[in-house]
Amino acid sequence: MSEKALAERFNEVVLPHLGDALSLARWLTGNAADAEDVVQDACIKAHAGMSGYAGGNPRAWLLTIVRNTSYTWMSRNRPRAMMAVGDLGDLDEMAAAHGTSLPDEDGPEASLIAKADAAALEAAIAGLPQPFRETLVLRDINGLSYRDISAMLAVPIGTVMSRLARARGLLASELGRAP
């Protein structure tokens, strides 16, 4: 493919999804200023790898690069934050255990959740363990399908579903507890 076609494709595939890329990077790194640095790095990688883009969902393709770039950036700039993530297998087991032990009636009223203010919700999302947070952000903020998320995280769809349910459960109880 010519450089020109590559550049055209870069404009078509990458530029429309910068907002989503920034959202994801913001939630993975924790702040908006770092997000711009990460997304810029990711776009350079996307441009270099453009000939490897084989069609399909361009947003998922770009966000995969953004996610990987975020973690590379985090391990370089915030090694301690990365260490706090813990073992993913344990988290999934923990999620499953909590999921079955939580009675359905346990959650707060839907109206309480709907009234929660943005700052409280953002704080609750920021407080989620990383695997739950990234799954929730990819689904509810970036709007990816279970299938796309499963491919991106290299986990089975069942794991995506249980992480998502767990993330939402944690958010709901957090918001329900707020005054």
Partner 1 sequence: MTARDDGLPNDPEGIRLMIHALVDGELDAAAALAVERRIAADPALAAEHARILALQGAVSRLPRPAVSDAFLARIAAIGTASTEKAQGDEPQRAAPSALPGLIAGPAQQRRATDTRPSQARPTTRRFGSFDWRAMAASIVMSAVLASGATQWVMFKAASDSIAAEIAGDHRRSLLAASPIDIVSSDRHTVKPWLDARIGVSPPAPDLATDGFALIGGRVEVVSGRPVPALVYRHREHLITLVAEPQQGGRVTEPRDVSSGGFSMVHWSDGAFSYWAISDMERPELDDFVARFRKAAV
Q: How near is the Cβ of 83 to partner 1 at its closest, in Å?
A: 26
Interface with partner 1 includes 121 (CB under 8 A)?
yes
How far apart CA 149 and CA 127 sit, in angstroms, is: 21
**What's CA 27's distance to the chain center, in Å?**
7
**Nearer Cβ to partner 1 (71/146):** 146
Footprint of partner 1 on 19-48 (CB under 8 A) = 19, 22-23, 26, 32, 35-36, 39-40, 43-44, 47
Q: Identify whether the C-beta of residue 152 lies closer than 8 Å to the C-beta of residue 144.
A: yes
How far apart CA 165 and CA 79 sit, in angstroms, is: 28
How far apart CA 27 and CA 126 sit, in angstroms, is: 7
How far apart CA 76 and CA 59 sit, in angstroms, is: 25
Q: Which of 63, 129, 148, 153 binds partner 1 (CB under 8 A)?
A: 148
**Nearer Cβ to partner 1 (52/79):** 52
Q: Which of 83, 84, 118, 154 binds partner 1 (CB under 8 A)?
A: 118
Footprint of partner 1 on 63-92 (CB under 8 A) = none
Interface with partner 1 includes 56 (CB under 8 A)?
yes
Q: How near is the Cβ of 164 to partner 1 at its closest, in Å?
A: 6
Output DSSP code: residue 75: H
Interface with partner 1 includes 128 (CB under 8 A)?
no
Interface with partner 1 includes 55 (CB under 8 A)?
yes
Q: Which long-range contacts does 6-9 make (Cβ < 8 Å, 24+ apart)?
A: 6/47, 6/50, 6/51, 9/50, 9/53
Site string for partner 1, 150-179 (x = CB under 8 A): -x------x--xx-xx--x--xx--x----
